[in-house]
Amino acid sequence: MHNAIQVHGLKKSYGSHIVLNGLDFQIKKGEIFALLGVNGAGKTTSLECIEGLRKYDSGAIIINGKMGIQLQSSSLPAHIKPMEAVRLFAKWNREKIDYTLLNALGMKEIEKKQYIQLSTGQKRRLHLALALINNPDIIFLDEPTAGLDVEGRLSLHKQIRKLKSIGKTIVLASHDMAEVETLCDRIAILNQGNIVFCGTASELTDKVGKKYFIHIKTQQENIAFETDNIEDTLISLLSDFKQKEIHVLDIKVDRGTLEQHFMEIARREAE
Ligand code: ATP
């Protein structure tokens, strides 16, 4: 069995509002998988259905492994101390506490504080520590780095990569495209109740089209061009610069960012 999660025909409505209109996708064992979509697309609803926290109307979800779920912020009592929460969760799950893991997540530095006194980043590290207490095979992270500074974000990315390296499957919902691009093996894009794309970031680039972005820095200015023919566009641009005696300092060619491709897919779907 290579799939950690299989979702077939998942449907969920809130009253007459159809949020999930028959989702079909698989998450492979050991991959970092991201669920993307604009606000209200149904990412949290999908995750909660998979996690077993929310009832769905129809469809089937097959889970192959033990799950660990990162709590949303302010889910713990205000005055509980991090190690009290850890002990509570360990007792609840009948698991031994892994102090090496807790130290790696920086729990030692915050052990004397109460939950209410923790920063956003410290809360998220505690939530991750609690999600890992039952030694899960599949870890769910809903917007894991929202509100974190660069250092906090990089440190959490390091932890997530470490979890992948020991064979865990990570499922996350995020709005941070740069994060998803660097961290995730595959992504699914949710739009108006459907999965409109599921695959790798480079497959998404191929789907969006053979578009290239040329960035040129001259002595006078920085200019960007969009093209589907690099050779012709570069030859014409460079000969034009040469004729006008404009000196080119730098040229970069790329195929656009995940964010640009995500926006393009959303635009096409809206049409
Ligand atoms: P965001 O990116 O803003 O977190 P999301 O993609 O996670 O959004 P959901 O939270 O799953 O989206 O919400 C999907 C839709 O379902 C939204 O229109 C939301 O208003 C609606 N919704 C979510 N929970 C409920 C609920 N308990 N009752 C009624 N409607 C709900």
Per-domain residue ranges of the chain? 47-206, 209-270
Distance 38 CA to ligand 1 centre (A): 11
267: confidence class by pLDDT, cuts 50, 70, 90: confident
Homologous superfamily in CATH for domain 47-206: P-loop containing nucleotide triphosphate hydrolases (3.40.50.300)
* Nearest residue by C-alpha to atom 21 in ligand 1: 40
Give the phi and the psi of residue 209 in degrees, each rounded to 5.
Answer: 130, 170
Instruction: Choose one of 13, 14, 49, 196 to mutate for the ligand 1 pocket test, by most ligand atoms within 8 angstroms of C-beta.
Output: 14
| Range with the poorest average pLDDT among 127-136, 203-212, 237-246 | 203-212
Distance 188 CA to ligand 1 centre (A): 17
Residues in the chain: 271
* Nearest residue by C-alpha to atom 27 in ligand 1: 14
* Helix H or strand E encompassing 157: helix 150-165
Q: What's the CA gap between 253 and 186, in Å, rounded?
A: 24
- Vertex 105, ends 168 and 99: CA angle to 5°? 90
Specify the pLDDT at position 124.
86
Per-residue pLDDT, averaged over 180-203, amounts to 92
Specify the pLDDT at position 33.
97
| Range with the poorest average pLDDT among 46-55, 170-179, 261-270 | 261-270
Q: Judging by beta carbons within 10 Å of its beta carbon (0-12, 13-18, 19+), is residue 9 exposed, middle or buried?
A: middle
| Closest by Cα among 34, 237, 37, 63 to 138 | 63
Instruction: Please name the residues in contact with 210: beta carbons below 8 A apart, sequence gap of 6 or more.
Output: 228
Ligand 1 shell residues, CB under 6 Å: 14, 19, 37, 39-45
Atom of ligand 1 nearest to the CA of 38: 2
User: Does residue 74 surpass a pLDDT of 70?
Assistant: no
Note whether 2 and 29 are within 8 A (CB).
yes
Sign of the alpha-carbon dihedral angle for 148, 259, 30, 154: negative
The two tokens of residue 94 are 């009948």
Q: Where are the beta strands (DSSP E) in 76-157?
A: 138-142
Q: Where are the beta strands (DSSP E) in the chain?
A: 3-14, 17-28, 32-36, 58-63, 67-69, 138-142, 169-173, 186-191, 194-199, 212-218, 222-227, 248-254
Distance 21 CA to ligand 1 centre (A): 14
3-state secondary structure of 51: helix
pLDDT, tens digit, for every residue of 30-62? 999 999 988 889 999 999 999 999 999 999 999
pLDDT, tens digit, for every residue of 111-153? 899 999 998 888 888 998 999 998 999 999 988 888 788 888 8
- pTM (2 decimals)? 0.85
User: Does residue 73 surpass a pLDDT of 70?
Assistant: no
